[in-house]
A and B are shown apart, each in its own frame.
Chain A
Amino acid sequence: MSVQDLNGLLSSIQRNPGIPLDLDWVDTIRVNRSAVERRAASLPARRSVKKKHQVAWLLKAISCMDLTTLGGDDTPGNVQRLCAKAKRPVRADILDALGAVELGLTVGAVCVYHAMVPTAVKALEGTRIPVAAVAAGFPHGLSPFAQRVEEIRASVEAGAKEIDIVITRAHVLNQEWRALYDEVAAFREACGEAHLKTILATGELGTLTNVGKASAVAMMAGADFIKTSTGKEAVNATLPVSLVMARQIRDYDENTGFKVGYKPAGGIRTAKQSLDWLILMKEELGAPWLTNDLFRIGASSLLSDIERQLEHAVTGHYSAYNRHPMP
């Protein structure tokens, strides 16, 4: 049995069913920006992962990756290419040299627009790699509500196992927590068996306090994952924002017993950055958040940098992009 299968068996993580909206709870959420930034800055300085450990952690980062293409110019051709890379993310000889072949390493998911879901599902047939679709008026989330819900149903029907939706930022900016709750709950309902990743678009929420409150409400409404960004905002995933969201996940787990996943997305391009996020997960949340059941990194170009670092670990030579198969 491969480690991945083993992880699959172990993932007895109960899905978050959501809880009734608890406004008293939302009201007590306080976030001190300077203190959060200080902790976020010290996290990568307090922990350093080296040598074999670094290799293992980078492989883990790959397994947690939502390999993504969200271009207006996506075609079945480039999506198929992406899926091929998702199945074989690292050159076989490198994995062999690292003694990591039996991991059966793949990325965590492939993330595309609705139109590309059938292509991706077909390309990934026979693998355990789920297809994630962005839906519900992504990336603005401002199309008619019924239409947004319908988009989710259509993508699920087309075979998407995960749905990444984006919330209405106005609900957060105007502190309309009931409206936010109802919106996310409706999306969750539309997902059925598919897992719901709720994008908060944190770069557009104004304050870290808003990020904290929106995180809590999204979880109460039944989000399986909370996610930072669409990748289209001016500011995407940052460590301070992630720290705030991770702490809300921790509180939610403590209060309800349900573990909600976390997905930073946008702007994570280097191997070092992916380690920083894994460090944050381990320090603030713990071991369960170090598997792709509860942690994903949304990225498109990150994989190439990790591949270079892995080759360096094997050969001791700094690597080059052209030595690794492109997605």
Chain B
Amino acid sequence: MSILEIYSDMSWGTAPEAADIAQQWLEDHDRKFGHFIGGEFVAPTLGGHFGAANPANEEHLAAVAFGCPQDVDKAVTAARSALEPWAALGGYGRAKVLYAIARLIQKHARLFAVLETLDNGKPIRETRDLDIPLVVRHFYHHAGWAESLEDAQSGYEPVGVCGQIIPWNFPLLMLAWKIAPALAAGNTVVLKPAEYTSLTALLFAEICVEAGVPAGVVNIVTGEGDTGRLIVEHPDVDKIAFTGSTEVGRLIRKSTAGSGKKLSLELGGKSPFIVFEDADLDSAVEGLVDAIWFNQGQVCCAGSRLLIQESVSQRVITKLKQRMAKLRVGDPMDKSIDIGAIVAKVQLTRISDLVDQGVGEGAELYQPEWSCPTNGWFYPPTLLTNVSPADTISQVEIFGPVLVAMTFRTPKEAIDLANNTPYGLAASVWTENVNLSHDIAAKLKAGTVWVNCTNMFDAASGFGGYRESGYGREGGIEGLCEYLKPPAVSRSVSADNVNLNAPVGGVDRTHKLYIGGKQVRPDSGYSLSTHGEEIARGNRKDVRNAVEAARTAHSGWSGSAAHVRAQILYYLSENLQALGSESAVRAAFSAAARCDKQDGKVHAVPFRGLCYALNEAVGVIAIVCSDDRPLTEFLELACGAIAMGNTVVIVPSESDPRPAAEVYRILEMSDVPAGVLNIVTGLRKEIVPTLAEHEDVDAIWCFAPDWAKQVEVASISNLKQTWSEDSAPSVNRILSHAVQVKNIWVPYGG
């Protein structure tokens, strides 16, 4: 084109970023890589390699090694032997290493950005302006944690050898989210990058050498899903951190069940993007660009479900279509491209199949008129309207540049629609009304809520999901704690010290179940004889009723003021004195004392606004008691859970459930609202499996040691949080399991 022609049509032209230095780096390695184990690159034991391709043009970039059992074993062994000296280096020593990593990545920022774009297909603008700066920030932030940890979390210890499995959508950023906190806390790692995107992890390995990371502290084993499975199943790994699909997350939960491995999962989502009629609609539309057309929509927290208030829905859709027409899809190495290539052919096929299915189910399709490049794997920005919650595309994660739009009438309906999903990763809320925004943020079931913004991340703020989006957080103190073990302090545990034997020659007593604030006879019509008394024999239906009662009570109880919960627990504690057990009284008393002490935090993230972490109730918690201290343990766990606003279904000690029966009589006179604490006695084998599988239970705590594995296996269906322990936890530890962190981002500016 001549200058005159361009003057006339004012087209963009091209603005290619040069790839020569990154290509040269690949050449310097003969386009073939081994694993990074024990501080050096080693050839794969069995010698196999697979190809890494550029998604934008399908060109071969390099051969990457398959991790076999021997490779994984070597890596775990290297990590194990590096553990002690690394921890012994101390916070300051580790901080200097992390700081060097941050500095070095910054110094090689463009090489990382270009290599990431070549390997992943995302636009160079994103790798350059978002991925790599966030990576650097993550290492700086965690260098700071390493330095200050000994004061901040005194007595805590590293978990040990961490197996980390990361996805292909933010290859280096997810590596940073995994490795930075692990190293700061004194752990060593074996990390497996996703098979499509191993290259920046391998470049990172070189940075580790330069930064003085001791050999064996960071090990990178490349490979496919099988290699990941080997890491998960390796007996000498202490913790697994996984980011990826909910499907694989379930497999990992299942295969680690009963192993005692600490587990954090960051999984899928179908995050709502809610636009109220009083929002800045143009900004909301621009927010959608950042929500669903960022990284080709291949983002676990992508705002993929647009919910628009009916009164403005036509305006929003019109504006949105206009905006979509301006998006540019194409060569990700071009600096003026908004949407790059889909990472792999199989993903492209999946996206396109799901869109076809949506259209088949009646959705209206909008795609801009221009067409995508045909060389490479590209998909245009896509909007589907005339969609209902019942349609497949509104339920499943598409993981592509595809937005589905629905409307709502009222704030309540917006919440109902937003929460009508098994997921709970993130949500975005657009309104200029401060009352509405905070109310909605509080009611959304999501680990992150962005108000008038979207896809904001920072190392100082935890990121992670509710429900089937996983558990654990990455970033902030909440993320760091995933890589720490509490101090192994032996706690003096007081015995129940209560005499519950029925008076000889007294009047016969009846012990029932306690469900929904009422004493109820067991559905089975059977009783169990124990300690000379008859105890109700709960069954599957009693569990069903108890969970339903707990769910019904949950919104009222979790919404009540902490002060109110404290008053009720104090009163319960008063009344428990009737049992004559000091430890029972103390259990309720100390939970009461802490109701209003577990307040949140405001994170120091680099933006003008508030990013605040709320400690929210987990939901309905099922508790399986051990047979130790049948009264005190029961009360410590139950009171801890309800103190934080959870409602509880509790299975008392099987060998001596009588204390539970005593407690419900006291609950009744202590103003504990109906359904907040439900007690199902009986045989664990007739109760616990139903509870562990129940889709409306949000967490299950299992203190009966023989049951941990089975409970963890059964938890996978809805990925309920699990906590198994065989020692008596401190009250603070109980409370930490009774809450989950929600981070709410609210930019401001008058």
Contacts and interface: CB of A to CB of B under 8 A. Distances in A.
Interface of A: 3, 6, 30-39, 45-53, 55-57, 59-60, 98-100, 102-103, 207, 247, 254, 278, 282-283, 287, 290
For B286, B287, B452, B609, the residue with the greatest tally of chain A CB atoms inside 10 Å of its CB is B286
B11 A53 contact: yes
- Closest 7 pairs between A and B when the two form their complex, measured CB to CB: A53-B13, A33-B749, A34-B747, A35-B283, A56-B6, A48-B15, A32-B280
A283 B326 contact: yes
Contact of B432 (A30, A102, A283): A30
B6 A52 contact: yes
Given A38-B453, A45-B129, A56-B10, 9 more contacts: A30-B280, A33-B749, A34-B453, A34-B608, A35-B286, A48-B335, A49-B13, A52-B13, A103-B7
A50 B15 contact: yes
A312 to B, nearest CB: 15
25 contacts: A3-B4, A3-B7, A3-B8, A6-B8, A31-B283, A32-B279, A32-B432, A34-B608, A35-B286, A35-B287, A35-B453, A38-B453, A47-B336, A48-B15, A49-B12, A50-B14, A52-B1, A53-B6, A53-B13, A56-B3, A56-B4, A59-B7, A99-B4, A103-B4, A254-B318
Contacts of B280: 30-32, 35-36
A46 B8 contact: no
A277 to B, nearest CB: 13
A34 B452 contact: yes
- Name B's interface SS: loop
A207 B432 CA distance: 14
Contacts of A60: 7, 10
Interface string B490-520: 0000000000000000000000000000000
B10 A39 contact: no
A229 B129 CA distance: 31
A48 B333 CA distance: 12
Contacts of B279: 30, 32
A238 B747 CA distance: 20
Nearest to A102: B4
Contacts of B154: none
Nearest to B14: A50
A290 B10 contact: yes
Interface in B242-301: 278-284, 286-287
Given A48-B15, A53-B6, A56-B6, A33 B750 contact: yes
Interface in B400-444: 432
B322 to A, nearest CB: 8
Contacts of A3: 4, 7-8
B338 interface: yes
A59 B7 CA distance: 7
A197 B1 CA distance: 35
B125 A46 contact: yes
Contacts of B7: 3, 56, 59-60, 100, 103
Nearest to B609: A34
A106 to B, nearest CB: 14
- Name A's interface SS: helix
B2 interface: yes
For A6, A31, A33, A35, the residue with the greatest tally of chain B CB atoms inside 10 Å of its CB is A35
Nearest to A283: B326
A38 B284 CA distance: 12
Contacts of B609: 34
Nearest to B281: A30
For A34, A55, A102, the residue with the greatest tally of chain B CB atoms inside 10 Å of its CB is A34
A103 B748 CA distance: 47
Interface in B314-337: 318, 326, 335-336
A47 B3 CA distance: 19
Nearest to A100: B3
Contacts of B750: 33, 207
B interface, size bucket = 35 or more
A60 B8 CA distance: 9
B477 to A, nearest CB: 25
Contacts of A32: 279-280, 283, 432, 452, 749
A204 to B, nearest CB: 15
Contacts of A30: 278-281, 432
Contacts of B4: 3, 56, 99-100, 102-103
Contact of A47 (B12, B432, B749): B12
A287 B125 contact: no
A153 to B, nearest CB: 37
A108 to B, nearest CB: 14
Given A52-B13, A53-B11, A36 B3 contact: no
A51 B13 contact: yes
A282 B12 CA distance: 10
For A45, A100, A102, the residue with the greatest tally of chain B CB atoms inside 10 Å of its CB is A45
Interface in B170-228: none
A99 B3 contact: yes
Interface in B718-750: 747-750
B749 A37 contact: yes
A56 B10 CA distance: 8
Nearest to A244: B282
A207 B280 CA distance: 14
Nearest to B748: A34
Interface in B117-165: 125, 129
For A32, A48, A51, the residue with the greatest tally of chain B CB atoms inside 10 Å of its CB is A32
Contacts of A45: 125, 129
A3 B8 CA distance: 8
Contacts of B318: 254
Contacts of B336: 46-49
A47 B8 CA distance: 19
A247 B284 CA distance: 13
Contacts of A247: 282
A46 B453 contact: no
Nearest to B607: A34
Contact of A39 (B2, B6, B283, B335): B283
A313 to B, nearest CB: 9
Nearest to A63: B7
A52 B3 contact: yes
A37 B280 CA distance: 13
B6 to A, nearest CB: 4
Contacts of A38: 286, 453
A282 B747 CA distance: 28
A47 B278 CA distance: 30
Contacts of B13: 49-53
A10 B169 CA distance: 47
Contacts of A31: 280, 283
B3 A287 contact: no
For B10, B13, B749, the residue with the greatest tally of chain A CB atoms inside 10 Å of its CB is B10
A46 B11 CA distance: 15
Nearest to B16: A50
Contacts of A98: 3
Contacts of A55: 3, 6
A189 B284 CA distance: 37
Nearest to A37: B749
A283 B453 CA distance: 20
Contacts of B453: 34-35, 38
Contacts of A37: 749
A33 B432 CA distance: 11
A57 B11 CA distance: 9
Contacts of A46: 125, 336, 338
For B1, B7, B8, B279, the residue with the greatest tally of chain A CB atoms inside 10 Å of its CB is B7
Contacts of B11: 53
Contacts of A254: 318
A46 B412 CA distance: 37
A51 B11 CA distance: 12
